[in-house]
Structure 1
Amino acid sequence: MRTFKNIDEYILLFPIEVQEKLLELRKAIHSQVQGLEEYIGYQMPAFRYRGKPFIYFAGYKKHIGVYPGAEGILNFEKDFKERKYKFSKGAVQFPITEDLPLDLISKMIQFKVREAEQKKS
């Protein structure tokens, strides 16, 4: 299995149209939260917030996977169903053929920030 040193190296493995979506997602995540630390976790691009794992994403042939954790999925299950996104206990899939749902991604990131803040106190 190939290991990656950083998110840039990971993104470069994909066709340009997937790279563009991965870069757009990365930018959207950073624009929502100051001070995120990037790393590779479970062979995927990942972010730490205040030293703790925050959110992961990954590119695939037909979708972009976002991994906000079980609580993140539960909180947005209704949205995923309404928009007909495939999801599981810990991940949601955004089709490559569609624009990223930046409004929903923004809500997911804000939920993750609130979750992290609550755990801190």
Structure 2
Amino acid sequence: MGTIDDYLAEQNQADRDAIDRIYAIARREAPDAEQGKGYGMPALVHRGKPLLSVMRAKKHIGVYPFSQDAVAAVTGALEEHPGIGIDKGTIRFQPEHPIPTEALESLIRARLSQIDGA
């Protein structure tokens, strides 16, 4: 897989818009992040470490912050939202049930904190 831009170009419009929205929020929180890869997936990379990847799976779009702790930091804020699934290191959703902006900002800040503190 190539860069985030390459990956987005392959998606249908609804998925592309949903995925691009998350990357846009991540870029606001981490303006120095660059396109790269994390565990073979297109990802934003901060200080050489994967920050966030967002990919379409068969039945959902997955947000992968490469950290169970970052997901745990926002679990409480997401449990009340319909259509959002949470697993150890993944947040799953559909374009018609987007992840709230505040939760995404918190998720990204949690991951940035981990990377910057390492």
TM-score range, shorter chain: 0.7 to 0.9
Partner of 2:104: 105
Q: Return closer, same or farther for 1:43/1:13 CA change in 2, 3 Å cut-off.
A: farther
**Contact kept in structure 2, 1:62 and 1:96, CA below 8 Å:** no
Mapping 1:6-21, distance limit 5 Å: 6-21=3-18
Indicate which of 45, 48, 67 corresponds to 2:64: 67
TM-score by length of 1: 0.83
Letter in 1 for 2:4: I
Indicate which of 70, 77, 80 corresponds to 1:79: 77
Deviation at 1:82, TM superposition (A): 2.1
Mapping 1:29-40, distance limit 5 Å: 29-40=26-37
5+ unaligned residues in a row in structure 2: which ranges? none
**Contact kept in structure 1, 2:3 and 2:43, CA below 8 Å:** no
Deviation at 1:15, TM superposition (A): 1.0
Letter in 2 for 1:118: G
Q: Return closer, same or farther for 1:96/1:106 CA change in 2, 3 Å cut-off.
A: same
Task: Give the number of aligned pairs.
Answer: 116
In our comparison, the structure showing a higher alpha carbon Rg is: 1
Partner of 1:51: 48
Task: Please tell me the root mean square deviation across aligned C-alpha atoms, in Å.
Answer: 1.8
Distance in 1 between the 2:25 and 2:58 partners? 21
Distance in 1 between the 2:38 and 2:117 partners? 23
Letter in 1 for 2:16: Q
